[in-house]
């Protein structure tokens, strides 16, 4: 509780799954922002807990919406584990700049509770279900803004610690394989290196955009552990009393690829003021790091 900063979390109800979660996130995004599905030409679903492998979840959702998504020209799934939504935003942003697509939806889904082992003291005890939707648009501007830069880093030497399904997909259909072997396995491992690596990655983005750390108005981190986030800010020399960072994982639990977006959504009115520069930073199983610079 002290290390990961948990107070409460949310799970899917009976009858819910990744598809219903994705639809709810899309519907809420459209309603909250007074948008229209018919305007969108691209749908990317970011998830490592898909309801279907075939068709893709993006394809299934597009079909379920029917005429409302009749203008979708590109629909696919992306699995980059817990960096998935930020990776999806990067992929879509670059795709739009090189094509005639001008409006896209990036939807993240983390439907983890059905996959957890009851004996798992990390995942079962602290992870939670969530979905989030980001509506992106590409437009001409005299000053470059929006998603300005993305930095990624991979060190695959931790690939054996988090596995889902534990038995591998080829064995999931087999009756002789015990149900628990088909769930998610999390072997605890030290992550003390993370704060320094995050700080180094953030400085890589800041330096190559000719900025200094004080130019960053807010930081949006993974919601896995509050301690890693605050330690990163200390390394960067950002005083916590400046309130440039908020942790919502204590309410939502850890929600995988959606967690930076849940934090951004909660603090939207504060963070999204014109001219504000934010850093989004998170980590994925294996491990991989992604850092993004965004200007409103």
For 108-122, the pLDDT digits (tens) are 999 999 999 989 988
CATH superfamily of 18-137: Thiolase/Chalcone synthase (3.40.47.10)
Rg of the chain in Å (alpha carbons): 19
Question: Which of 94, 86, 61 lies closest to 76, judged by CA?
Answer: 61
**pLDDT > 90? residue 286:** yes
Q: Which residues contact 193 (CB under 8 A, 6 or more apart)?
A: none
As a whole number, the mean pLDDT across the chain is 95
- The pLDDT value given to residue 5: 66
**pLDDT > 80? residue 1:** no
Strand partners, 77: 45
- The pLDDT value given to residue 141: 87
Q: For 150-163, b where at least 16 C-beta lie within 10 A, e where not — what string?
A: bbbeeeeebeeebe
Q: Which residues contact 229 (CB under 8 A, 6 or more apart)?
A: 195, 219, 221, 222, 245, 247
User: Can you tell me the distance from the alpha carbon of 275 to that of 11, in angstroms, rounded to the nearest whole number?
Assistant: 36
Q: Mean pLDDT over residues 68-95, rounded?
A: 98
User: Can you tell me the distance from the alpha carbon of 37 to that of 70, in angstroms, rounded to the nearest whole number?
Assistant: 9
- The pLDDT value given to residue 103: 98
Q: 0.85 cut: is pTM over it?
A: yes
- The pLDDT value given to residue 2: 67
Q: Mean pLDDT over residues 208-229, rounded?
A: 96
Q: For 11-58, how does the pLDDT look when each residue is reduced to its tens digit (9 = 90+)?
A: 999 999 999 999 999 999 999 999 999 999 999 999 999 999 999 999
Q: Residue 153 — pLDDT band, cuts 50, 70, 90?
A: very high
User: Can you tell me the distance from the alpha carbon of 235 to that of 232, in angstroms, rounded to the nearest whole number?
Assistant: 5
- The pLDDT value given to residue 125: 87
Q: Residue 200 — pLDDT band, cuts 50, 70, 90?
A: very high
Q: Mean pLDDT over residues 194-201, rounded?
A: 98
Q: Residue 83 — pLDDT band, cuts 50, 70, 90?
A: very high
- The pLDDT value given to residue 6: 76
Least confident of 44-58, 133-147, 193-207: 133-147
Q: What stretch(es) of the chain map to CATH 3.40.47.10?
A: 18-137, 146-295
Q: For 198-214, b where at least 16 C-beta lie within 10 A, e where not — what string?
A: bbbbbbebbeeeebebe
CATH no., domain 146-295: 3.40.47.10
- The pLDDT value given to residue 3: 66
Q: Mean pLDDT over residues 148-164, rounded?
A: 97
Q: For 243-261, how does the pLDDT look when each residue is reduced to its tens digit (9 = 90+)?
A: 999 999 999 999 999 999 9
């Amino acid at each position: 509780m002290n290390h990961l900063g948990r107070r409460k979390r949310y799970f899917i109800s009976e009858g819910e799954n990744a598809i219903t979660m994705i639809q709810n996130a899309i519907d809420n995004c459209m309603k909250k922002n007074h948008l229209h599905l018919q305007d969108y030409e691209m749908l990317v679903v970011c998830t490592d807990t898909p309801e279907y492998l075939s068709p893709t979840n993006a394809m299934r959702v597009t079909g379920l919406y029917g005429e409302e998504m009749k203008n979708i020209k590109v629909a696919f799934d992306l699995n980059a584990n817990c960096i998935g939504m930020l990776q999806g935003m990067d992929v879509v942003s670059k795709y739009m700049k090189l094509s005639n697509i001008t409006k896209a939806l990036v939807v993240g889904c983390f439907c983890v509770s059905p996959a957890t082992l009851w004996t798992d003291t990390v995942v079962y005890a602290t992870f939670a279900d969530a979905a989030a939707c980001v509506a992106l648009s590409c437009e001409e501007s005299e000053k470059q803004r929006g998603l300005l830069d993305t930095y990624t880093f991979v060190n695959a030497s931790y690939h054996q610690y988090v596995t889902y399904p534990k038995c591998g997909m080829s064995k999931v259909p087999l009756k002789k394989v015990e149900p628990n072997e088909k769930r998610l396995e999390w072997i605890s491992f030290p992550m003390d290196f993370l704060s320094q690596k995050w700080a180094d990655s953030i400085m890589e983005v800041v330096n190559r955009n000719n900025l200094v750390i004080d130019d960053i108005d807010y930081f949006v981190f993974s919601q896995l552990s509050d301690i890693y986030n605050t330690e990163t800010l200390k390394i960067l020399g950002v005083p916590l009393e400046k309130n440039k960072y908020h942790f919502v994982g204590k309410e939502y639990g850890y929600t995988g690829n959606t967690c930076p977006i849940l934090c951004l959504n909660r603090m939207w009115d504060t963070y999204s003021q014109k001219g504000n520069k934010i850093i989004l930073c998170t980590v994925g199983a294996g491990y991989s790091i992604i850092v993004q610079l965004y200007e409103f």
